[in-house]
Amino acid sequence: MDTETLHEQFKRKRRLESRKILLFQLLLLVLIFLFWQITTHYRILDPLIFSSPLAVAKLLVTKVMDATLFPHVWFTLMETVIGFLLGTLLGTLIAISLWSSITVAKVMDPYLVVLNAMPKVALGPMILVIFGPNVLSVIVMAISISVIVSTIVIFSAFQQVNENYLKVMQLFNASKAQTFKHVVLPASIPTIISTLKVNVGLSWVGVIVGEFLVSSKGLGYLIISGFQIFNFNLVFLSLIMIVILATIMYKCVEMIERFLLKKFNF
């Protein structure tokens, strides 16, 4: 049996494994919703508090028909994407500046540790006072939650690049910028992509918390409104929309991951 045939068999086996995993994931999701519906229908769980899939589905249809849901969805999605991109970009730029100067990195190290340990949600009121009750405050909240994690993780990846590669660049008298472009950055691509995946969740947390505090629209605003008027159908509908949108963003990052890993031959 030649190598090409073995490779095709391996690829076929991986595809079958992926489909089997997807099938089990969908089955688990169906079971969760069935459990939710059955337990609320027979009042094992209080339907007033836990709602039910059918009640949420009816509300979804109503909101779609009267076109009152999608403006909130698009508003939150816009804030999250902007916060996600800016948080990752800013974290990467800070990590590059730290890598460029060992002295700066050593000076900033304790501050990064302290900032990473600080509960970012507690900064919400301060951000509100500084930027005002507007969209900018929500985006800044999302950035503040993801930027320090991005900086620490990406900077660590820069530091862990194989020393032999760096020594080869030194032998050819490569500048720091050339070393970064041709060695450090390509070697750190997998870690940067992993950071993107983490930042998807962090950005959603930041935006929803920000909307809790300042927004008059968005999915976070709907959750707060639902709690205030005891409309838990609205709360669960908003939570499900957040889960769906976060999953779509995560899948988009996975597509970028496959493209970059293939391009850089990882």
Burial class (CB in 10 A: 0-12, 13-18, 19+), 260: middle
Residue 158 contacts residue 190 (beta carbons within 8 Å)? no
Burial class (CB in 10 A: 0-12, 13-18, 19+), 198: middle
* pLDDT digit string (tens) for the chain, length 266 residues: 556 676 677 778 888 888 899 899 999 999 999 999 999 999 999 998 899 999 999 999 999 999 899 999 999 999 999 999 999 999 999 999 999 988 989 999 888 888 888 887 778 888 888 888 889 999 999 999 889 989 999 999 898 888 888 888 888 888 888 889 888 988 888 888 888 888 999 899 999 999 988 878 899 999 999 998 899 999 999 999 999 999 999 999 888 888 877 776 66
Residues, the chain, total?
266
Distances (CA, A) of 130 to 23, 127, 138, 213: 48, 5, 12, 13
CA dist 171 and 169 (Å) reads 5
Long-range own/partner contacts, residues 39-48 (CB < 8 A, 24 or more apart): 48/230, 48/232
Domains of the chain: which residue ranges? 3-45, 63-263
Residue 2: the pLDDT is: 57
Residue 265: the pLDDT is: 67
CA dist 83 and 206 (Å) reads 8
Residue 241: the pLDDT is: 95
DSSP code per residue over 17-62: HHHHHHHHHHHHHHHHHHHHHHHHHTTSS-HHHH--HHHHHHHHHH
Distances (CA, A) of 177 to 88, 146, 174, 263: 21, 26, 8, 21
Residue 111 contacts residue 168 (beta carbons within 8 Å)? no
Amino acid at 123: L
DSSP code per residue over 52-104: -HHHHHHHHHHHHHTT-SHHHHHHHHHHHHHHHHHHHHHHHHHHHHHHH-HHH
User: Does 63-263 carry CATH code 2.40.110.10?
Assistant: no
How far is residue 24 CA from its own chain's centroid? 24
What does the angle CA 66 – CA 69 – CA 71 come to, to the nearest 5 degrees?
Answer: 110
Residue 261: the pLDDT is: 76
How many Å is the Cα radius of gyration of the chain? 23
